[in-house]
A and B are shown apart, each in its own frame.
Chain A
Amino acid sequence: MIKNISNLGDAALYCDFGNEVNKSINSQVIKYFKTIKEKKFKGINNLTPSYNKLIISYDLKKTNFKEVKNYVENIDAKESQDIDSKKLEIPVCCHENFSLDIKRLEEILKLSREKILENFLNKEYFCYMTGFIAGMPFLGDLDENMRAQRLETPRVKVPKGSVALTEQFANIYTFESPGGWNVLGNTPLDVFDSSKEDKPNLINPGDTVIFKEITLDQYKNLNE
Chain B
Amino acid sequence: MSNNYLDIIRPGINTTFQDKGRDHLYHIGIPFSGAMDNRNYLIANKLVNNKLDIAVIEFAYQGPHIKYSGERINFAVTGDVIFSIKKKNNEIEGNCYQSYQIENGDEINIVSTNKSVYGYLALGGELDLKSQWNSCSINTKANIGSNDGKKLDEGQRINLKKINSNKDIKKINYINTKIENIRVMRGTNFDYFSEKGKQIFYEKEFIVSKLSDRMGMRLEGPKIGNIVNTNIKSEGLIKGVIQVPADGNPIIMLSDHGTVGGYPKIGVVASADYDRLVQMTPGSKIKFKEINLSDAETLFKLYEMETQNLLSQI
Contacts and interface: CB of A to CB of B under 8 A. Distances in A.
A60 B271 contact: yes
B143 interface: yes
Interface string B72-87: 0000000000000000
A9 B241 contact: yes
Interface of B: 23-30, 32, 132-133, 141-144, 149, 185, 187-188, 231, 233-238, 240-241, 258-261, 265, 268-271, 293, 296-297, 300, 304
Indicate the size class of the contact surface on chain A. 35 or more
Nearest to B258: A132
Contacts of B26: 46-48, 55, 57, 131
A45, A46, A133, A200 — most chain B CB neighbours (10 Å) = A46
Nearest 9 interchain pairs by C-beta: A48-B236, A9-B268, A55-B236, A10-B296, A45-B23, A131-B259, A131-B29, A131-B260, A46-B26
22 contacts: A8-B188, A9-B185, A9-B240, A9-B270, A19-B233, A46-B238, A48-B27, A50-B236, A50-B260, A51-B235, A53-B236, A55-B238, A57-B238, A65-B293, A129-B260, A130-B29, A131-B28, A131-B29, A132-B259, A132-B260, A175-B141, A177-B141
A2 B122 CA distance: 45
A150 B231 contact: yes
Given A8-B188, A130-B27, A48 B141 contact: no
Contacts of B27: 33, 37, 46-49, 129-131, 205
A45 B24 contact: yes
Interface in A1-20: 6-12, 14, 19
Contacts of B233: 19, 21, 50-52
A205 B231 CA distance: 22
Contacts of A33: 27
A133 B133 CA distance: 16
A119 interface: no
A194 B260 contact: no
B240 to A, nearest CB: 6
B29 A134 contact: yes
A46 B23 contact: yes
Given A9-B240, A175-B142, 6 more contacts: A9-B268, A46-B26, A46-B27, A52-B233, A130-B28, A132-B29
A7 B238 contact: no
B142 A194 contact: yes
A136 B28 CA distance: 8
A132 B198 CA distance: 27
B236 A60 contact: no
B280 to A, nearest CB: 18
A98 interface: no
A132 B236 CA distance: 9
B132 A133 contact: no
A164 interface: no
B1 to A, nearest CB: 25
B304 A61 contact: yes
A10 B291 CA distance: 11
Contacts of A46: 23-27, 32, 238
A205 B26 CA distance: 13
A8 B268 contact: yes
A201 interface: yes
B42 to A, nearest CB: 12
Indicate the member of B27, B231, B233, B235 with the most A CB atoms within 10 Å.
B27
A91 interface: no
B30 A134 contact: yes
Contacts of A55: 26, 235-238
Given A46-B23, A136-B29, A197-B133, A14 B188 contact: yes
A194 B236 contact: no
Most buried by B among A50, A51, A197: A50
Contacts of B271: 9-11, 60
A131 B260 CA distance: 6
Given A9-B268, A10-B293, A49-B27, A133 B300 contact: no
A51 B133 CA distance: 26
Nearest to A20: B233
B141 A51 contact: no
A145 B28 CA distance: 30
A165 interface: no
Contacts of B29: 130-136, 174, 192, 201
A65 B112 CA distance: 39
A194 B143 contact: yes
